[in-house]
Structure 1
Amino acid sequence: MIEALEIPTAAGTFDALACGSSGGREVMLLHGFPESAIQWEFQLGALGNGGCRVVAPDQRGYSPGVRPERVEAYRLEEFVGDVAAIADELGWQCFDLVGHDLGGYVAWAAAAAFPARVRTLTAISTPHPAAFLRAITEDEDQAQRSQYFEMLRRPRVAERILLADNAAALRKIFDWKIPEERVEDYVHRFTQPAALTAALNWYRAMHLAGPTPPVDVATLYVWSTEDTAFGSTAALATADHVTGPYRFEMLEDISHWIPEQAPEALTMLLMEHLLAHRG
């Protein structure tokens, strides 16, 4: 059964969803944009009922209790610190880390920063940041795919565009690949005061991030062929930035929204990865 949690930290109180009994294998799930912890509903239930203790927080800016106003408060190092603080509050010394989209961006950096604590990494959709930065600079296809970043970084303009006409542009981001009721949930969250600005501040603070080192922990990277945000150049180059055991899986005919569009396939891969690396 999925339960709601509140996780107090020095930065504020994070809302979270959890499943599984205490004492189970600890797994943290990090959502992306423009979503929330509920994107992991299927994985929470499957892993929680399979012997894991799974926690999916609403990340910084998405949890009302951790919604600072300054753009600088959305630097990558702050998100990485949040992962450690949440794990500390949960009493987790070692845990498996899973991230999708911007949650994957955080997960790569956290795995690089805390190799002694992150047992395994599963990155979904998002390539290693160094592979992505090189692709966006050298690969015309990736540069075209990433043009939306500039719009999202425009203060007030992005909010106005995304929420106009009953949030038509925000809804269009999902490309009708996930259930309509889930989209309605996300849209409702972003119509709350300051919620969308906080989520967009992730993009507005990206220039403040330093380089992400190679990752030494056992890593599963899942990419899908119909992903409009991340092309094959960065996906295939990600192997060059993992020095530990590495597995790359490609899902055919699936969009960017893997956890919700292909929940069974993703969860099977995730379970195989966890079972292969018990240490």
Structure 2
Amino acid sequence: MNDNSTDLSAFGIGVDLRDGYAEVGDGVRLHYVEAGTGPLVVLLHGFPEFWYGWRRQIAPLVEAGYRVVAPDLRGYNLSSKPDDYTEYTADKPAHDIQQLIRVLGAEKAPVVGHDWGGSIAWTLAMNHPEVVDRLVILNAAHPRKLNEGLKNPHQLERSWYFFYFQLKGTPEHHAERHNWEFFVHFLRDAQPPYTDDELDRYREAWSQPGAAKGMIDYYRAAVRLGSKQKVLTIATPTLVIWGQQDRFLGADLAEPHAEDVPNLVRVERIDGASHWVHHDEADRVNRLIIEFLGADQPRADA
């Protein structure tokens, strides 16, 4: 697992980091960063981030006594990048994470997901509930709510890039030609703003061979094949954290239907926070996650 361990101190996370690689089947190899000891917690980043998107959460979770693992999702940074967009339907990266949890030696773990990582976390909890101890979702609509939202003209306007990303080759080539400023545009709402050093780390990740295409192929798969996703009831205790000033997703998408997530503990709406709620309100988000993971909530199998 940790066959390519390197010194990650330059990332400035505040705790000792270890990186490793996990073979998760179907020729896919996930890169991940790990810190701490204790019960496992898995953090799933969104677009256009990579594991580094959790830089404000890793140390607080380690200090709270957890072993934190933040993978690069398939298609991102140092993980495998299947070439066909059909390899990016939500069930396939969800299967990657199920296998990753097993490879890491755990039977189950809390899973925290933001944006696309949240979409994958929803799917993981539907398809592989046996490995998800608790579920924390940050600004990622439940699949049924997202499909409903994309029929709304106001949400369609917010989600314009879903359709731009359907153009073959154009979005990734445009982004690369202009020093990835198109991807930076998606991050501009975060407060405090990403520093030049942080953006350089993102540009390095986006510049990995095949990464830009892999990242965008999630959108191609969602638009072309997403309606085929089967929606199953999620019995896992679930916390949703939602930045109310999300430029991409309307606040009406925050709360899943009760029948889809009957063990929803609550939706914590954070006024003034953008789509990048884990950066905007890092201390509050960290506190909410740690309290939820440690709380005596009823279990899905209780």
Contact 2:189 2:276 in 1 (8 A): no
Distance 2:269 2:35 in 1: 28
Contact 1:32 1:100 in 2 (8 A): yes
Query: Which letter maps to 2:67?
Result: R
Q: TM-score, normalised by structure 1?
A: 0.93
Match of 1:105 in 2: 119
Which consecutive unaligned segments of at least 5 residues does structure 2 have?
1-15
Q: TM-score, normalised by structure 2?
A: 0.86
Q: Which of 176-185 and 66-75 deviates more?
A: 176-185
Shift of residue 238 of structure 1? 4.7
Distance 2:289 2:194 in 1: 22
Distance 2:79 2:182 in 1: 27
- Aligned pair 1:183/2:196, yes or no? no
Bigger share in strand: 1
Distance 1:262 1:236 in 2: 20
Distance 1:245 1:231 in 2: 19
Which consecutive unaligned segments of at least 5 residues does structure 1 have?
none
Q: Identical aligned pairs, as a percentage?
A: 27
What is the DSSP-based 3-state SS (H/G/I as helix, E as strand, rest coil) of the residue aligned with 2:34? Answer: strand
Shift of residue 12 of structure 1? 3.0
Distance 1:238 1:261 in 2: 27
Distance 1:239 1:184 in 2: 42
Match of 1:19 in 2: 35
Bigger share in helix: 1
Runs of 4+ deviating beyond 4 Å = 237-240
Distance 1:237 1:74 in 2: 23
Counterparts of 1:48-197 in structure 2 under 5 Å?
A: 48-137=62-151, 139-175=152-188, 177=190, 178-180=193-195, 181-197=197-213
1:227 corresponds, among 232, 243, 246, to 246
Q: RMSD between aligned alpha carbons?
A: 1.7
Distance 1:57 1:236 in 2: 26
Contact 2:77 2:206 in 1 (8 A): no
Q: Cα deviations across residues 79-125 of structure 1 (Å, max 9, x unaligned)?
A: 11101110110011011011000000000010112223211000100
